Structure 1
């Protein structure tokens, strides 16, 4: 229980932040305030000048590769090293809790925030996140694992109601969180904005207490995403401990009212207070020393991480390039580096090395931009690039996603690169035998043009040293070893959820169950551009001698021999998949269950062993709420990607009798697309929700919902746009990523959250006026607005 000297007012106050980034101090018991900041790939320290979307100035920090890039290293030791580095910079800058990492699954490649998430695979994401957290927390800094749970889109992320079947929830969407919680003991877990089965995450007792605390043993504090608190009394009962950001005590009054009315037990508040106090004690008072040259060291670490994370997608032998001489370098993204995403994870880097800078370390570079970062194709720029390439012996072309394509706050519109870049590549097609493409972007991209290049190196968003890392790889100073952590489809239309993703964002049924990424493509036997786990090297590896052994009834040891058959030292990422052969419940054709990075000198071989426990073979049984293994054969597959399996052996396991479930045929055959009717065979019926109209708006509605409801709200929206633009120091321009992100973020907040987040600009009475006006009653709303009390 908390210190008896704390009044109930003090205890309630501890459940809400003091400011945008800080918790409340309690001098009476010697409890300091702690500082939190964004930082999944580098700190975004803002002191008291807080904003949640990366617009205001922040202190400089090392910008490491984003999670979508770092995941392609498949390197848990490297993830831990990056976590430690961010933790050291946090200590240096007085930050107690870093808000990261994000382990949400990449359900659909259009999610605008996919660059912040590790993978489409929960095992890979969980292992990397756990390592990152262990590294960070070794410095005394706390981590905040996010966003719990099912935050898999930016469109209406504040309010959408996710409906997901039990097996997909437990087998696909929760395991990354579970692995990270069990293996790294994060100081905090951050709850998401959205609803799950009709209940906001902040109020979701089943998620926060039943699963997170009781089943997984989490003992830390649950904090809200910034503005994600729905009902603070209900949140206490659910297991939420800390509302962020602070709101001047506005929500404290709600808690006191709930206590007086008997809707909230004081004991429940005290349990949360204990966890908040424990969080403060855990993340203060450390004595970690920070080297004087820490930022220099971390720049080199960022370069090494970017090297390990880059993926060589294709190479006909043109790479590596010889050092010295001249290289034709084409592409505005080569000179204006895009190395991170937009939003709350945006870092003010200590320095930036562009691809143009990096190439100059190895060769003379003749440069032509070829396109602008925005706008239509420019014939003069294309002609200039063609003239340069026509006479060049070696050509490096940099293309990819520009800043407006992917960001927190909104989803992508398609998977293509900009039309002006496509026009450039079409013009350069006659010289495809010498084109080396360097691709940047935080998530999956349609790449039909990759077929017309001699080599393709994918950097993803490689952090501040990405240009130097790319040059290291292009010129052979380093050997590529990264492998894709998400599938690259041929076309967005091939993605199973493409036909219904975002169509009715008020409610989001996951019709496809756990069939996302390679789980769908491999099970449906659909062609892809590049499969999950794919990545080439400047050397080659062979796999042989697969041996299985049983270490007790619940563990299988998998051993094989890996040989570097080339003339260069290199690193291979070996992947182990399990494919059930039980003919029981529906499940993916195969699932990643282990992986390892193996560095081998040229000609060297090594025996590699990976272990599988019983959970690696299990499915979740909703009836018993237990993990069960189906009796029968399970094939062990070892290979270089999900589509490049080199070794196979079958193991027979005891377990529950395998029986086909009652799910619709689609979940067994994956023929065509899933349907709402079919979803009804794996999920309980639920009321269908569509966008509210006039007469149906309430405190959970947003400005974006209400803007077209009538003249009053159109005028309101007009002035809000201009107020947001003024605050951002920009004009109203939805082609400007900063304005678009901030405007859609503000306009997407439910009214009740906007009141808390607006720092007094939107009062409860003004919010009620907006709702009344949208419902066709502006005079009634005006009357309420002018009264002294709501």
Structure 2
């Protein structure tokens, strides 16, 4: 241990005290050893440091910081160096605000397009996600502080995220859901990692020895610190044994006492605690080093310019019929849509940033060559229909050469803690589009949202520009792409299905009660659409440019692939060339192709460049469940270079010697997986894949409710008071939505309705402890007076103990 001398002088109580927070955002300090408390702050795309009332849902405003584009946006740049640059600027701002640990980036897979937090995640592909995340981490940590990669792992739905049991086979876990974390740990060298709320195959992730001990600490040799998601600790001692150092937020010493008692009773050895203290001290001391010297405030204008640069490189041009874009000099445009006036530029929840500067679309036309003849809202932001707004918009549209129609999803439709109900843009926006198309067919739609949406309306527009959630400088970046000052170079990092029903997880998302089954296995995103031959709206890796690129002269050897890339158009631009690999053998089920490398390269008009994409340790591997190792199958492999997953320009083959591992599967028992048609896998076949029985996915309504049951389950509680409270919560949610308070209604769902009972104790900073919670559970389970008496007694005990401690 690095800090053995300090640890040997600490009391058991002091060591245990370091294992949970001092308050909502800070760790505990022990001044006699020079151990300071360190500050943790949300920050996937901007620093959210709260100095006053603390919360984890983005309710209270934070210190102003640059709001960069979200991860889902930046991923579209496919530029790892750009990700590292963002990280460097985030790190600089974190240091200026005295933040030690920045809680991000988020690298969960986009398993399903309805996950409410997809705007905060990079991609449906683990390789791309891992590479982008490693760039962010290197940038953040270049300033001496720590990134904190999250949420480890299989946290792919927001509904019931604090208690859902994710059932996933080992191969899909390794190849799809852990690969990005592996890259973040090995290449990004993240100092901290956040465990997720959910269970993995029956065990909470921060207690899961296979995940935390065997894989993270063992195979990946991770030496950093593991931090719980806020309120995400279930059994504190089990978490400590698995290697979870820090529980957040504070529990006012309650779980520290659990650790102390476990050591005194010899349930665990004190050495387990010492190892955890050592790793936490490394995080504290190394991230405090940077604050020994003075730091100046960051340059807001410079950071704003970088945010604009990032947005410009991340915008995706999806449609450009008749080359309507870029707009010609002097084009008269009608600007229509509520999102033009009040930009939708970031997500909602714990990632909400208080921007230092905010560009507005209507203020940006003066600097461009585009002539705006006026603006109309056209629609009400939150879905209310208005014929008057549509009529006014149509009158303006008649006078314009081109309509710039700003549409998208509002702030409460995609948010932390909630999943989307569908993939639709609201009806009132589509009604507006239909009306506009009747009076002027030159429509360019600018889409603002952080996720995939259905587009049955796409034939009504000639141009479609997807800005995603482009940060505080996004409005100007979009104008610069529309005008041609910037040649769009972004490409999608998620597939856009034609219909939500086309998605492989359609029948298994979200898990509504006990568990969610990942029956599609390794086939998520383009892996599924390719294998099952399902037509899509836009494929993974797709994006248009104002110029054209030609690919030629492919050469493959054992080290990688080289080819020539020519800008065959008349405009300079950047192209994203993508390397896909497919195994020709049919002995093991595989996706037809998998992304194994990419490069973004700038090329002048008429210029040709030679491009090399190297192979690495992940190019040919698969995870073998029999050997429990990564193996290489002896086979010929297809090497494909594409402009997207569906636009392969160059092909070659290479034979790879295998590692000689036994075949892992009985082909006859996994017919759906060998065909790739996994959207309706029967229970028996899924059980053959996971190697055990599928657990019961519904609540046992005969048992008393316990710590890990949710408030939602009070609808069948034995206690009349609990059922009444449940109905009041449901009514409050309905009423708030009815009167237009959708944001407040959402808070009820994510912070009350789906909260497990233990979360009440874990998220109240010790104001309500487990003994008091036991009283609440008695009330819930039908023992009202006994429970109320217990609750009041335990409350009195806690108050007396706090007073005695204060006097002492």
- TM-score bracket for this pair, using the shorter chain length: over 0.9
Say which of 593, 609, 612 aligns to 2:612.
Answer: 609
Contact 1:615/1:627, CA 8 A, preserved across alignment: no
Corresponding residue for 2:93?
Answer: 89
Alignment of 1:112-127 (within 5 A): 112-127=116-131
Alignment of 1:173-572 (within 5 A): 173-286=177-290, 294-316=299-321, 317-324=323-330, 326-362=332-368, 363-365=370-372, 366-430=374-438, 433-550=441-558, 556-572=559-575
Q: Which of 494-503 and 160-169 deviates more?
A: 494-503
Contact 2:557/2:654, CA 8 A, preserved across alignment: no
Contact 1:473/1:479, CA 8 A, preserved across alignment: yes
Contact 2:111/2:525, CA 8 A, preserved across alignment: yes
Say which of 152, 165, 170 aligns to 1:161.
Answer: 165
After superposition, the Cα gap between the structure-2 partners of 1:59 and 1:720, relative to the gap in structure 1 and judged at 3 Å, is farther
Contact 1:409/1:742, CA 8 A, preserved across alignment: no
After superposition, the Cα gap between the structure-2 partners of 1:421 and 1:759, relative to the gap in structure 1 and judged at 3 Å, is same
After superposition, the Cα gap between the structure-2 partners of 1:22 and 1:739, relative to the gap in structure 1 and judged at 3 Å, is farther
Question: How many Å separate the matches in 1 of 2:662 and 2:236?
Answer: 45
The alignment partner of 1:499 has SS state of helix
The Cα shift of 1:689 comes to: 3.5
The Cα shift of 1:635 comes to: 0.1
Contact 2:96/2:296, CA 8 A, preserved across alignment: no
After superposition, the Cα gap between the structure-2 partners of 1:732 and 1:367, relative to the gap in structure 1 and judged at 3 Å, is closer
Q: Which of 772-781 and 470-479 deviates more?
A: 772-781
The Cα shift of 1:748 comes to: 2.3
Alignment of 1:669-748 (within 5 A): 669-671=675-677, 673-683=680-690, 684-709=692-717, 710-717=719-726, 735-741=741-747, 743-748=749-754
After superposition, the Cα gap between the structure-2 partners of 1:221 and 1:731, relative to the gap in structure 1 and judged at 3 Å, is same
Question: How many Å separate the matches in 1 of 2:655 and 2:662?
Answer: 13
Q: Which of 708-717 and 632-641 deviates more?
A: 708-717
The Cα shift of 1:613 comes to: 2.7
Report Cα offsets for 1:411-445 as digits up to 9, x if no partner: 00000011110111111223564101100100110
Corresponding residue for 1:553?
Answer: none
Alignment of 1:136-147 (within 5 A): 136-147=140-151
Q: Which of 395-404 and 665-674 deviates more?
A: 665-674
Question: How many Å separate the matches in 2 of 1:692 and 1:660?
Answer: 35
Q: Which of 682-691 and 421-430 deviates more?
A: 682-691
The alignment partner of 1:773 has SS state of helix
Question: How many Å separate the matches in 2 of 1:769 and 1:733?
Answer: 35
The alignment partner of 1:448 has SS state of coil
Say which of 134, 138, 141 aligns to 1:134.
Answer: 138
After superposition, the Cα gap between the structure-2 partners of 1:176 and 1:469, relative to the gap in structure 1 and judged at 3 Å, is same
The alignment partner of 1:460 has SS state of coil
The Cα shift of 1:624 comes to: 1.0
Say which of 769, 773, 777 aligns to 1:771.
Answer: 777
Question: How many Å separate the matches in 2 of 1:699 and 1:407?
Answer: 26
Question: How many Å separate the matches in 1 of 2:675 and 2:126?
Answer: 23
Question: How many Å separate the matches in 1 of 2:688 and 2:439?
Answer: 54
Contact 2:511/2:517, CA 8 A, preserved across alignment: no
Corresponding residue for 1:640?
Answer: 643
Question: How many Å separate the matches in 1 of 2:529 and 2:32?
Answer: 59
Say which of 27, 30, 33 aligns to 1:23.
Answer: 27
After superposition, the Cα gap between the structure-2 partners of 1:640 and 1:735, relative to the gap in structure 1 and judged at 3 Å, is farther
Question: How many Å separate the matches in 1 of 2:793 and 2:49?
Answer: 41
Question: How many Å separate the matches in 1 of 2:405 and 2:136?
Answer: 33
After superposition, the Cα gap between the structure-2 partners of 1:744 and 1:488, relative to the gap in structure 1 and judged at 3 Å, is same
The Cα shift of 1:248 comes to: 1.1
After superposition, the Cα gap between the structure-2 partners of 1:105 and 1:783, relative to the gap in structure 1 and judged at 3 Å, is same
The Cα shift of 1:694 comes to: 4.9
After superposition, the Cα gap between the structure-2 partners of 1:659 and 1:209, relative to the gap in structure 1 and judged at 3 Å, is closer
Question: How many Å separate the matches in 1 of 2:364 and 2:538?
Answer: 27
The Cα shift of 1:692 comes to: 3.5
Q: Which of 406-415 and 442-451 deviates more?
A: 442-451
The Cα shift of 1:375 comes to: 3.3
Q: Which of 258-267 and 473-482 deviates more?
A: 258-267
Contact 2:776/2:791, CA 8 A, preserved across alignment: no
Which contiguous aligned blocks of 4+ residues in structure 1 show a shift greater than 4 angstroms?
Answer: 287-293, 657-660, 717-725, 730-735, 786-790
The Cα shift of 1:297 comes to: 0.7
Question: How many Å separate the matches in 1 of 2:149 and 2:556?
Answer: 35
The Cα shift of 1:360 comes to: 3.9
Report Cα offsets for 1:129-184 as digits up to 9, x if no partner: 00000001001121101000111100110000111101101111000000010001
List alignment gaps of at least 5 residues for structure 2: 799-808
Contact 1:721/1:732, CA 8 A, preserved across alignment: no
Report Cα offsets for 1:603-623 as digits up to 9, x if no partner: 000010011135311110111
Contact 2:102/2:147, CA 8 A, preserved across alignment: yes
Report Cα offsets for 1:460-502 as digits up to 9, x if no partner: 0000011000000000110000000100111101001112212
The Cα shift of 1:584 comes to: 1.4
The Cα shift of 1:636 comes to: 0.3
The alignment partner of 1:610 has SS state of strand
Q: Which of 247-256 and 474-483 deviates more?
A: 247-256
After superposition, the Cα gap between the structure-2 partners of 1:614 and 1:759, relative to the gap in structure 1 and judged at 3 Å, is closer
Report Cα offsets for 1:578-600 as digits up to 9, x if no partner: 01101111111110000000100
After superposition, the Cα gap between the structure-2 partners of 1:384 and 1:468, relative to the gap in structure 1 and judged at 3 Å, is same
Question: How many Å separate the matches in 1 of 2:348 and 2:181?
Answer: 24
The Cα shift of 1:707 comes to: 4.1
Question: How many Å separate the matches in 2 of 1:171 and 1:55?
Answer: 36
The alignment partner of 1:286 has SS state of helix
The Cα shift of 1:351 comes to: 1.6
The Cα shift of 1:693 comes to: 2.1
- C-alpha RMSD over aligned residues: 2.1
Q: Which of 701-710 and 95-104 deviates more?
A: 701-710
Contact 1:722/1:731, CA 8 A, preserved across alignment: no
Question: How many Å separate the matches in 1 of 2:624 and 2:664?
Answer: 13
Question: How many Å separate the matches in 2 of 1:268 and 1:760?
Answer: 25
Q: Which of 349-358 and 689-698 deviates more?
A: 689-698
Contact 1:546/1:649, CA 8 A, preserved across alignment: yes
The alignment partner of 1:306 has SS state of helix
Q: Which of 767-776 and 75-84 deviates more?
A: 767-776
Question: How many Å separate the matches in 1 of 2:331 and 2:206?
Answer: 59
Contact 2:240/2:276, CA 8 A, preserved across alignment: yes
